[in-house]
Amino acid sequence: MFSLAKLRAVRALAGAARREATADPASALLLMTAVAAVHLAPAFQFHRLGEPGRLARDGGLSALLVFGGVFAAVSAIRTVGREIESGVAAAALVRPISRTMFLAAKTLGVVSAFARFALAIVFAAALSSVSCVVGSRIEGDDGTACVSAFCLLFGFGGEMLAIAGAAFAHRFMRRGFPSTCFALIMWSQPVAFGLAMLLPGHADAVGEALVGPFLLAAASVFAAVSSFACAAAALSTRLKGAAAPAALAFMAALSLLMPALVKALPALAALRAAVPDFGVFWLADAVSKSAPAPWGAAALPVAAALAVSAFWISVGAIMISNRDVS
Amino acid sequence: MENVISIRSLKKTFRDFWLRPTVTAVDGIDFDVAKGEVFGLLGPNGSGKSTTIKLILGLLSPSAGKVEVFGSSPRSLKVKSRLGYLPELSHLHPFLTAREAIRYYAGLSGMSSADSARRAEELIAQVGLESAADRPVGGYSKGMARRVGLAAALVAKPELLVLDEPTSGLDPIGTREVKELVRSLAKSGVTVLMTSHLLGDVADVCDRILILAKGKVAAQGRLDDLLSRRDATSFTLPGVTPEDAAAAAALLKERFGRDPEVSHPRISLEQFFVDTVKGGTSATS
């Protein structure tokens, strides 16, 4: 059933989908904006909104959800729907791969690209949170907000350096600007975080800055957005033009309303099989309150994301199997 | 002889979102393509050529009738592993270089990284893209993209090669190379199904042709049978002076009672162009 040749085909398709997702100028712009917002938001806060670093962590999770959600959905629609319409998919579908494999591999490639997007945001949020904690130690807890200038320099400056590096590579090495920019920004954030940890007092702040649930919450948002990417890929096998983004926007609204809807009408809980329920996924509240969140709390969102993803990949496989590809 | 493609009463009607029929592109056609044959599919725009090719490749589902490739459904993975396809427009990922694009298609065919790399180098040399192999294909001219598409079609050493307008966008030398490649593939036992608007190209390489008009078969058969004029005979004799030609014409007229047509045989413009460009000779008239 699973041969080496099929795995090679899946790897080739997923790799091309990942590169396609990161080669789009809109992808680089989304990542650029998200990372800049995560670094700059705490620098412009004038009042503490809770414990040090709360704005940075919640901002990071929001950026992952909103910018990451747009990135994953647009990439999935482009790599599946537009390729079917343009004829690029036909050139792949005449090879020895099934249509289900095509859809699953493309979705895997998009999720892999989103993982890179998430990596940059998580490190940016972590650095920004450390920056807030270090800043609060400098100024004391008197209600004014302050950040570590070095963290801001490494994080935001690193992003600017990445953009300049991409422009240099485009000018002198003929590299594609959007994909190089995306890759350099992605790597700039872990490097900036690592450099910041070498500064006195910064490594000590990590425990306070990255309170337990932050990474769990990030994993949870990642799982939710990945299941949206699966839905986007499945819907774009049939829906043309603006219909797929419109259907996804409706689904996103339903996801946000799901906790209230289920509370009002418990029978609607059955919709959780198809629509991610942010009542299940969203752990930001636990993060903001620094409440202890057991690792078991991650199991539910991941299981929910896997169920929703499996549902949509199955629906997509049925929809693509009998459609004409020109 | 073993048939590689077998089509019976094939019909394809396209429908809109509400499943209302919009157009019948192929309307009950029958034909077979034998192993090792070069088969040409001709017809004006909108005659159903591309639809027929996509039905053979399993990209479209027939509304009625049957398509068999290597005796099975064209959607079978075993059948697809024996196919190569060059689409009418070379749809390539613009961010990949030619080398990466060929390796990508090799990967889709299940080849290992080492085999993909080796095959990519062979094909880059075969289609003449050595100097541009590391440039993104998004910046290629139509002819260069066509060469990458051809390499991608050949990457898995197919037994059946489907070429949709293979010489479109190529210069005369590239056209000549593609035709020579088709002939050499056919000699090695590869079956080729091709469409082209350039009838000269089809005449040069095809053993049999089928002409489609409004989705139906208008004519099909061997080129020699379809194109030979049985009511006339021509002679070609080298080294004949104008006086000798006039004397021969007089003899023929005396024998048959009709004026024969006497002319010098012409080479094709393509042959003249290739000889001029490759040989570096200058010719003026």
93-132 in chain B: CB under 8 A from chain A? 93, 95-96, 104-105, 107-112
**Which residue has better confidence, A256 or B248?**
B248
Number of domains present in the structure of chain B: 2
The answer to whether residue A140 scores a pLDDT higher than 70 is no
- pLDDT reported for residue A46: 63
Please indicate, yes or no, whether residues B148 and B270 belong to a single structural domain of this protein.
no
> In this structure, is residue B237 part of a structural domain?
no
Supply the DSSP symbol for A81: I
Is A8 within 8 Å of B57 when comparing Cβ atoms? no
Please indicate, yes or no, whether residues B81 and B207 belong to a single structural domain of this protein.
yes
> In this structure, is residue A254 part of a structural domain?
yes
Please indicate, yes or no, whether residues B256 and B219 belong to a single structural domain of this protein.
no
Supply the DSSP symbol for B97: B
> In this structure, is residue A104 part of a structural domain?
yes
> In this structure, is residue B14 part of a structural domain?
yes
- pLDDT reported for residue B48: 92
Mean pLDDT of A20-49: 88
The answer to whether residue A143 scores a pLDDT higher than 70 is no
The answer to whether residue A4 scores a pLDDT higher than 60 is yes
- pLDDT reported for residue B262: 87
**A17: Cβ contacts below 8 Å, ≥ 6 apart:** A75, A79, A105, A106, A107, A108, A109, A110, A112, A113
Domain enclosing residue B253, as ranges:
242-279
Is B152 within 8 Å of A91 when comparing Cβ atoms? yes
Mean pLDDT of A272-291: 67
Tell whether B264 lies on the interface with A, counting CB pairs under 8 A: no
Q: What is the CATH number of the domain that holds B78?
A: 3.40.50.300
Is B54 within 8 Å of A90 when comparing Cβ atoms? yes
7-46 in chain B: CB under 8 A from chain A? 14
> In this structure, is residue B76 part of a structural domain?
yes
- pLDDT reported for residue A294: 63
The answer to whether residue A289 scores a pLDDT higher than 70 is no
Is B91 within 8 Å of A11 when comparing Cβ atoms? no
> In this structure, is residue B234 part of a structural domain?
no
> In this structure, is residue A326 part of a structural domain?
no
> In this structure, is residue B106 part of a structural domain?
yes
From B72's Cα to the closest Cα of chain A, the distance in A is 14
The answer to whether residue A81 scores a pLDDT higher than 60 is yes
Rounded Cα distance between B5 and A137, Å, is 78
pLDDT in tens, A166-183: 999 999 988 889 999 999
Partner residue facing A6 (CB), from B57, B87, B110: B110
- pLDDT reported for residue A296: 66
Encode chain B (285 residues) as per-residue pLDDT tens digits.
Answer: 689 999 999 999 999 878 899 999 999 999 999 999 999 999 888 899 999 999 999 999 999 999 999 999 999 999 999 999 999 887 888 889 999 999 999 999 999 999 999 999 999 998 888 889 999 898 888 888 989 999 999 999 999 999 998 988 888 888 888 899 899 999 999 999 999 878 888 888 999 999 999 999 998 999 888 877 778 888 888 888 989 999 999 999 999 998 888 888 887 777 777 777 776 555 555
Please indicate, yes or no, whether residues B223 and B258 belong to a single structural domain of this protein.
no
**A24-38, A253-267, B168-182: which is most confident:** A24-38
CA A23 to chain centre: 16
Is A87 within 8 Å of B77 when comparing Cβ atoms? no
Query: Among A131-145, A185-199, B39-53, whose mean pLDDT is lowest?
Result: A131-145
The answer to whether residue A142 scores a pLDDT higher than 60 is no
Please indicate, yes or no, whether residues B125 and B265 belong to a single structural domain of this protein.
no
Tell whether A96 lies on the interface with B, counting CB pairs under 8 A: yes
Tell whether A173 lies on the interface with B, counting CB pairs under 8 A: no
From B257's Cα to the closest Cα of chain A, the distance in A is 59
Mean pLDDT of A280-294: 60
Name the closest residue on chain A to residue B111, using Cα atoms.
A5
Domain enclosing residue A152, as ranges:
4-321
The three-state (H, E, C) secondary structure of B128-177, written as one string: CCHHHCCCEHHHCCHHHHHHHHHHHHHCCCCCEEEEECCCCCCCHHHHHH
Please indicate, yes or no, whether residues B68 and B201 belong to a single structural domain of this protein.
yes
> In this structure, is residue A31 part of a structural domain?
yes
Please indicate, yes or no, whether residues B43 and B174 belong to a single structural domain of this protein.
yes
Partner residue facing A322 (CB), from B61, B80, B96: B61
Is A96 within 8 Å of B60 when comparing Cβ atoms? no
Partner residue facing B54 (CB), from A16, A95, A326: A326
What is the share, in percent, of chain A residues with pLDDT greater than 70?
A: 88
> In this structure, is residue B206 part of a structural domain?
yes
Number of domains present in the structure of chain A: 1
Contact list, B83 vs chain A (CB under 8 Å): 94
Please indicate, yes or no, whether residues B37 and B142 belong to a single structural domain of this protein.
yes
The answer to whether residue A108 scores a pLDDT higher than 70 is yes
- pLDDT reported for residue B101: 94
Contact list, B112 vs chain A (CB under 8 Å): 8
Please indicate, yes or no, whether residues B195 and B70 belong to a single structural domain of this protein.
yes
Provide ipTM, 2 decimals. Answer: 0.83
Rounded Cα distance between B190 and B192, Å, is 6
Please indicate, yes or no, whether residues B197 and B258 belong to a single structural domain of this protein.
no
Is B95 within 8 Å of A325 when comparing Cβ atoms? no
> In this structure, is residue B284 part of a structural domain?
no
The answer to whether residue A20 scores a pLDDT higher than 90 is yes
Partner residue facing B107 (CB), from A9, A88, A326: A9
Query: Between chain A and chain B, how many beta carbons pairs sit less than 8 Å apart?
Result: 89
The answer to whether residue A16 scores a pLDDT higher than 90 is yes
Please indicate, yes or no, whether residues B258 and B218 belong to a single structural domain of this protein.
no
Rounded Cα distance between A72 and A74, Å, is 6
Rounded Cα distance between A282 and A301, Å, is 9
Tell whether B87 lies on the interface with A, counting CB pairs under 8 A: yes
Please indicate, yes or no, whether residues B58 and B161 belong to a single structural domain of this protein.
yes
